[in-house]
């Protein structure tokens, strides 16, 4: 039995977002795995009524636990080393932009997080990345040795039902007209200018945005959003999973032209829910999408607009993309993710 302590702080702070979903699905898989005795810890957040599939949830101690409570593996899932005693520290790096100059964060935040990440990467017995793209970036920065860094791709849940029409009806505000869907934080990194420029000229399409404001919203994104035709704009801050499934299923396409991604879970979520995907031809977006999405230059919204026009009029092409997307999503499961994680733990413990 492998005793593992997971830091799930991101999920306790908010159940939305890629890291939070990684925490939740990691715990879900751990709760049912015959080789794992799991415990979940959090630094801050709301613990009331949180169901972690029977896995104990404990507030992080101010000081490291006594040796009697030592775990075989302490796994930092949230970009911060937990204050727990463990024989081995595993540290997941979800993205690298805090480690290099960028305009996706404030300078102060970048310095703070970047210093912490460098320190924790150096201390870790094993560094896990969600994508090969992130792993290659870490190696290029010479922050970790090849044999101390391993890629464990994330997963997605494929719905067990064939017809998602009922799911679409759960979203009371779903547009009656065809629409393009964007899912993610409304911030500089997500390249919202591309989305607006691609969709605005297509009067037959509405735009549905699911996400909360992030860095750069007030300065760069809000003005662009205000100029988008209001009668074709639908903005949801947070959407429960069942409703999000309906939005994916009803979309003409899901448009995700990020400038940078550490993985890009919405790409797989859209594919799993039969939505054609248009995404960037760079960063982890291209890696995750494979050949099952329309890949475009994030600096050229004309490419996305042309793809949307074709999707509206070429049903055969659209169907082929849906089929390819379902097949691609089927290659990424949370159970496969966790088996790869257990394999990494075994290597450490051996």
**Is the pLDDT score of 170 beyond 80?**
no
In tens, the pLDDT along 205-258 reads 999 999 999 999 999 999 999 999 999 999 998 888 889 999 999 999 999 999
Query: What percent of the chain is predicted at pLDDT more than 70?
Result: 94
Helix 241-250, helix 265-272: angle, nearest 10: 70
Confidence of residue 68 (pLDDT cuts 50, 70, 90): very low
Query: What percent of the chain is predicted at pLDDT more than 90?
Result: 83
Specify the CATH number for 2-155+333-349; select among 3.40.190.10, 3.40.50.2000, 3.90.1150.10, 3.40.50.300: 3.40.50.2000
In tens, the pLDDT along 96-147 reads 999 999 989 999 999 999 999 999 999 999 999 999 999 999 999 999 999 9
343 class by beta-carbon count within 10 Å (0-12 exposed, 13-18 middle, 19+ buried) = exposed
The confidence score (pLDDT) of residue 164 equals 53
In tens, the pLDDT along 254-275 reads 999 999 999 999 999 999 999 9
The confidence score (pLDDT) of residue 67 equals 47
CA angle 88, 92, 98 (to 5 degrees): 130
What's the fold here for domain 165-329?
A: Rossmann fold (3.40.50)
The confidence score (pLDDT) of residue 69 equals 65
Please name the residue that has the structure tokens 């302490």. 74
For residues 299-311, average pLDDT:
98
* Stretch (H or E) spanning 128: strand 126-129
Which residues in the chain are classed under CATH 3.40.50.2000? 2-155+333-349, 165-329
The mean of the pLDDT values for the chain is 92
| Cα–Cα distance, 339 to 334 (Å, whole number) | 9
Confidence of residue 289 (pLDDT cuts 50, 70, 90): very high
């Amino acid at each position: 039995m492998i005793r593992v302590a997971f830091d799930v702080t991101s999920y306790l702070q908010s159940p939305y977002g890629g890291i939070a979903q990684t925490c939740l699905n990691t715990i879900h898989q751990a709760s049912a795995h015959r080789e794992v005795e799991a415990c979940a810890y959090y630094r801050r957040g709301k613990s009331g009524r949180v169901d972690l599939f029977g896995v104990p949830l404990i507030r992080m101690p101010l000081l490291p636990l006594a040796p009697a409570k030592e775990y075989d593996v302490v796994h930092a899932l949230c970009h911060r080393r937990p204050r727990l005693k463990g024989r081995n520290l595993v540290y997941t790096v979800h993205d690298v932009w805090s480690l290099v100059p960028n305009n996706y964060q404030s300078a102060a935040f970048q310095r703070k997080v970047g210093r912490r990440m460098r320190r924790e990467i150096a201390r870790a017995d094993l560094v896990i990345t969600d994508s090969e793209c992130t792993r290659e970036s870490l190696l290029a920065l010479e922050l970790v040795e090849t044999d101390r860094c391993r890629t464990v791709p994330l997963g997605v849940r494929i719905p067990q039902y064939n017809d998602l029409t009922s799911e679409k009806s759960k979203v009371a505000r779903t547009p009656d007209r065809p629409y393009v869907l964007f899912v993610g934080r409304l911030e500089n990194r997500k390249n919202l200018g591309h989305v607006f420029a691609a969709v605005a000229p297509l009067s037959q399409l509405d735009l549905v945005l699911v996400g909360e404001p992030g860095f750069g919203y007030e300065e760069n994104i809000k003005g662009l959003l205000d100029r988008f035709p209001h009668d074709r704009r639908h903005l949801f801050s947070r959407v429960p999973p069942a409703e999000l499934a309906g939005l994916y299923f009803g979309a003409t396409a899901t448009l995700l032209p990020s400038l940078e991604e550490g993985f890009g879970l919405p790409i797989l979520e859209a594919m799993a829910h039969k939505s054609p995907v248009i995404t960037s031809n760079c960063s982890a977006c291209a890696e995750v999408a494979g050949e099952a999405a329309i890949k475009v230059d994030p600096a050229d919204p004309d490419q996305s607009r042309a793809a949307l026009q074709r999707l509206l009029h070429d049903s055969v092409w659209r169907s082929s993309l849906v089929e390819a997307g379902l097949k691609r999503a089927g290659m990424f499961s949370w159970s496969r993710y966790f088996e790869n994680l257990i394999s990494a733990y075994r290597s450490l413990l051996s």
